[in-house]
Every structure is written in C-alpha cells, then in structure tokens.
Amino acid sequence: MKLFENGPRAKRLRRNATTTLGLLVLASLLALTLARASGAAATAVPLGTSGSFAVLAGAGITNTGPTTINGDVGTYPTITMVGTSSMTVNGTNHASDGVTQQAQTDLVGAYNNAAAQGPTNPIVADLGGQSLSPGVYNSASSIGLTGALTLNGGGDPNAVFVFQAGSALTTASASSVVLINGAQACNVFWQITSSATLGTGSTFRGTLIALQSITVTTGVTVDGRVLARNGAVTLDTDTISRPGCSAPAATTTAPAATTTTAATTTTTTTTTTTAVPPKPKPKPKPAAVKAAKVVAKAKSKAVIKKAPKPKPKPAVQSFGFTG
C-alpha cells in the first residue's frame, strides 16, 4: 500500500493519521472527565419525618442553661430528657412518642443516603479558610473546622453540599460555616460516622446526622438540625433552628409603557325631519262623474216611483137639524 511507502506523501499521510488518532483519544478522555464531573453532583438527602425535628436523639437529651429550639424535639429508644424546664421549644416536644419513633426510622434511611453519595471530592485538610462549590466531600477519617468555611452556591438556590466523615467532626470555638451566592442551610448535610462536637460560640449550618452522639457546647448557633441515630444529644445555652428552603426571588421586568395618542374625529350628524303633506286625492275623471250622476238619478227615480200614494181621508158630512 502507498501508505507504507517512504516517500513524502506517505510520511504526510502517516503524520495525519497519528494526529487524528491523538485527537480522538483526547476527545474520549474529555468526555469521560465531563461524565465523571456531572456524576459528582450532590442531591438533597431525603429526611422523611425526621425533617421536622431540630433536635433528635437515640439515647436521650441533656440540656444546661436557656436553650432555644425552633423545631420539634424527641428521643428514642432512650426516653430520658434532662433540663427541659430551661428549654424554649418553638415546635412540639414529641419525647418518645410514635412520631419520634418513625423519625428515627427515617433517619436511618437519610444517614445511608448521605453516606452513599458520590463520586466524592477528597477532604485532605482542615476545612477552615476554604471556599467550596456544590458537591460531595469525603474524609476517610475525621473532619476539622477552624475558622470559616465558605460554601458558594454559584447563584443556584438548589445547590447541595454533602460532607462525609469517616470518623468524627470537630469544629473549633468561634468557627463558622458561611453561605454565599444562593447556598442555603437546608441543602447542606453532614454525615458523621462516629460523633460530632460543635465548639463554643461557633456558628454551624446544615443538617448534622451522626451515627453516635452530638455535643453542642456553650453558646452555639445552629442553622440546621442536630440528629443523632444511636447516641445522646447534649446542649448548653444554644439556639438551634430547623432550616427552611426559600424559593428564589422572582424577578419581574415590566415592559416599557407605550402610549399611543390617536387623533379622534367626532362627526356630528344633524337630522332634520320635514313633515310631508298627504298626497291629494286624484280628481275623478269627467266620464266617471257623469256615470255617477246617471246612477244617482236612476236611484232617485226608483225611490220616488216605489213610494205609495197616500190614501185620501174620508169626507165628513154635516147634517143640520133644526128644532
């Protein structure tokens, strides 16, 4: 074949074939990379009935100091609740009723869903100081947060962030999770394989699902949920608010008002009514008049002829007598 000749044309053909093959390989690698990237998108974790709870425990709840909870509260199978007199619950304290029991069942499914999401982005250092886009983030061991972690929604109010810890989660005092560009606490999920501890005076955002216990130290603000599957939840003068997803603000652009002034012509029609005199009766023709007279005269004679003559009155004779 000419393709294997050693002439300039053959070399040129081989070079073109090599270039084409390289481009095909590069395109395949790019397509595979894009497919993997699209598969890494996180999805909201279905919480079921546990979604109405701000605090849910498996082994009891202990509170110290004035704690405010905006959402439901419950614990099961351990039903112990200590320090409830100093808790303000803006929701329902379900204690260990049937609602709490169902919530714990749903929590198992939520935990498994969060743990199974992927592909994942590796967490190789403390989260403090990082700015992350939506996705699934995984640490084979523990997760630490010192300082501020920024979650950037990229303008998408439905952007989801899922964090998976192979063991514990520990946030430092005064640490924070900051949400920007549409990111919402309702779409942030933390799946912790062991226990979690939120540091003093810290601000935490997202739904925290721990297999074991959760300790919320003094003065912590949680924009989210603290849900412990098997362990206890410990609180101390905290504020925990179950998050709600808000719809993006509708932007309405009013069209420019166009005013069209049309010339209006008013036509006034005046109607004048003129009385029309009745038409005069046509004069009879002479022949008709003559005929009418003859008829009238004949009728008159007939009437006179038919009229009976008056009978004469009998004569009265006078006889004179003299005596």
Nearest in space to 57 (alpha carbons), one of 72, 68, 46: 72
Sequence-distant (≥ 6) Cβ neighbours of residue 86 within 8 angstroms = 63, 64, 65, 66, 67
Strand-pairing partners, residue 131, are 150
Nearest in space to 114 (alpha carbons), one of 161, 157, 72: 161
- So what's the pLDDT on residue 263? 40
| CA 43 – CA 55 distance, rounded (Å) | 23
Series of mean pLDDT values for 10-residue runs along the chain (323 residues): 58 68 50 42 96 98 98 98 98 98 98 97 97 98 98 98 98 98 98 98 98 98 98 98 79 45 42 50 55 57 49 48 40
**pTM (two decimals):** 0.67
| Residue appearing with tokens 């989660």 | 169
Q: Buried b vs exposed e over 115-136: b needs ≥16 C-beta within 10 Å?
A: bebeebeebeebbbeeebebbb
Do the Cβ atoms of 241 and 223 come closer than 8 Å? yes
| CA 297 – CA 301 distance, rounded (Å) | 6
- So what's the pLDDT on residue 14? 72
- So what's the pLDDT on residue 292? 58
